[in-house]
Every structure is written in C-alpha cells, then in structure tokens.
Amino acid sequence: MAVLLFLAQTLRIAIPYLFAAAGGVVSERAGLIGLTLEGYMLGGAFAAALGSYYGHSAWFGVLAGVLGGALLAVVYGVSAIRFRADQVVVGIAINLLAIGVTRFFLRLAFGSSSNSPRVTGFGGEQSGNGFTALVANPMIWLGLIVIPLVAWMLYRTPFGLRVRAVGEHPAAATSVGVPVTRVRYTAVILSGVLAGLGGVYLVLDQHQFTDQMTAGRGFIALAATIFGRWDPSRVGVACLLFAAAETLQIQLQGAQLVPSQFVEMIPYLLTIIALAGVVGRAVPPAALGRAPE
C-alpha cells in the first residue's frame, strides 16, 4: 500500500511537470528558450480559475487556461521573434508580468490578495490522494500522454521536422522554403498551451488559485527539459524522477533525515550535472536563444 501511495503521489506531482516540460521541449527545439514556462503555468492557472469559477465547469477552466498560457506565449513570441529581443531578458520579464497580472486580476475578480474562491474541478467534490480520484481526472490521462504526443509530433510529422530544423539551422530551413517565423510562432504558442495546461491541473486539483501557486514548477520543468537533453522520452523520465524525489521528501518529512531544502535542490543539481557533461554530452539546439536573420 505504501508503494501504491508513493506512486500515486509521484504521479500527482509529475503531471504539471510533464505538461510544462512538453511545452519546454517544443519551444526549445524551435530555438526559443523555455524560461517562460513558469509564467505560462501561472497565467494558465489563473485563467483556469476564472473559467471554472464563472463557467461552473472544469472544462471551461481547461479552455481558459489554455488561452491564458497561449496569450503569454504570444507576448513572448512577438518580443523574441518579431522584435528580436534577448530571450533571457524577455523571459524573465514575462515571468514577472505573469505574477503581477495574476495578482492584479485576483484582487479585481475575487477581491482577495491571496486566493480565489473554491472552483469546480474534476472527479467530484471529494478529491483524495488515492487512485480513484486520480483515475477520474482526465487531466491525469492527458498529462500521461502529452509526452508521447509531443514525441510523435516532433519525429513523425512534417511540422515536427520543421521545428527541429528551425531550432538547429534556421538559415537552412529558409533556403528550402520553410516559413521559419511561422513555425517558431506556432511552436511557442503550442508551448504556452502545454505549459498552461500544467497550471490548469494545479488549480483544478487544488480547487482554487493561490497567489504564485506555481512556486517554481516551471523552472523544474525547464530543468527536466535540459536534463532530458531535449528528447521527449528522456524529458518525461526526468519529470518522473524529479517528482519521485519530491514525493520522497514529503513522505520523509516526519523523519527529518535530511533537511527538505536539500531534496528541493535535487532537480537543479541534476541539471547542473547534466549540463557539465557527466551523463553524456548535452547539446542544446544550435539556434537556441538566437533570433534568425
């Protein structure tokens, strides 16, 4: 039973990582740094709260969350592609923007500076840690197939081939008539949608939006993207690994074997180790972070 509980909790924690990291893979493979995942998640989460609250349905939440993530991705895309702004600088700005905007509208819509009222989620009013609640939640199922979907898109479809080309060698893609700008916009908006779904999951799972509720999950997803070397299946494994480490920390909380802060460092430590080349060479897409000519 303990093992099952461990797995169930790992899964719950992993789902938002899987969504956001899938977005990270799509964005970075197209050459746009995924620093904005955190902002997309937060934007998606808040929009989901709005949609679910006013639409009285979790599905409205999903729809609104997708739009929220996409909206921030458009802002990022226009700055980085159309205006060729530095992606790191814009990325940080988008994340700060997401915090500010959600906080502002939280006060405006719900008259609170900390959290939204209770919103409709999936799986009825009773949500527990058990499997029954998990199975009833379509977001879980979607989260489980999002990585295989992205892998299929990337390696089996013409669009995926173009995304990979555009992130590696945009000039070569241009020379054969691939509309590089359009491919990049599509990829960055798709990444906003995917990461936004990560935020949606958080809100529907907790039945409310709380200020800055993503709490760095977008950055952990970015770490998973890099640790997984931009390959969807490896990135999926990285998400599960990071989620398992977090679960372990929660379950050991009573025991106080190691301070929880050390466990929280694990994803970042692993990422640094991965980037240092300890577990094979991590070669990012060659045109990552650079505006095409």
Partner 1 sequence: MMPHASTSAIRLTDIHKSFGAVLANRGASLEVARGEIHALVGENGAGKSTLMRVLSGMYAPDSGRMEVADAGGVLRDVTGWSTAAAIESGVGMVHQHFMLVPTLTVAENLMLGAELTSEGPLRVLDRARAAEQVEALSTRTGLRVNPARRVAELSVGEAQRVEILKALYRGARTLILDEPTAVLSPPEVDELWEVLRQMRSRGETIVLITHKLDEVMSISDTVTVMRHGRTISRLRTGETTPQQIAREMVGRDVQLASEMRRDAVLAEEAWVAAPASDAPAAAGSLGSTTFPLPALEIKGLVVASAGRSDAVRDVSFSISPGEILGIAGVEGNGQTELVEAIAGLRRVRSGSILLDHLDITGASVRARGDAGLSHIPEDRHSRGLVLDYSIADNLILGQQHHFARGGFVNTLDIDRIASNARRQIAAFDIRPPNATVPARSLSGGNQQKIVIAREMGRDFRVLLAAQPTRGVDVGAIEFIHGQLRAARASGKAILLVSADLSEVLALSDRIAVMYGGRFVVVLPRAGAGEEVLGPYMTGAEHAA
Residues in touch with partner 1 (CB under 8 A): 156-158, 160-162, 164-165, 168-169, 171-178, 285-286
Complex with partner 1: residue 23 or 160, whichever CB lies closer: 160
Question: Please, what is the minimum distance in Å from the beta carbon of residue 80 to partner 1?
Answer: 21
Radius of gyration of the chain (CA): 19
Question: Please, what is the minimum distance in Å from the beta carbon of residue 168 to partner 1?
Answer: 5
Question: Please, what is the minimum distance in Å from the beta carbon of residue 284 to partner 1?
Answer: 11
Complex with partner 1: residue 216 or 289, whichever CB lies closer: 289
- The answer to whether 77 and 32 have CB atoms below 8 angstroms apart is yes
Q: Which residues contact 112 (CB under 8 A, 6 or more apart)?
A: 106
The conformation of residue 82, written as its DSSP 8-state character, comes to: I
Q: Which residues of 148-184 are buried (b: 16+ CB within 10 A; e: fewer)?
A: eebbebbeeeeebebbbbbbbbbeebbeeebebeebb
Question: Please, what is the minimum distance in Å from the beta carbon of residue 85 to partner 1?
Answer: 21
Return the residue matching tokens 């409310």: 208
- The answer to whether 50 and 203 have CB atoms below 8 angstroms apart is no
In DSSP terms, 115 is beta-bridged to 210
Complex with partner 1: residue 200 or 235, whichever CB lies closer: 235
Amino acid present at 292: P
Complex with partner 1: residue 121 or 160, whichever CB lies closer: 160
Question: Please, what is the minimum distance in Å from the beta carbon of residue 222 to partner 1?
Answer: 21
Complex with partner 1: residue 34 or 170, whichever CB lies closer: 170
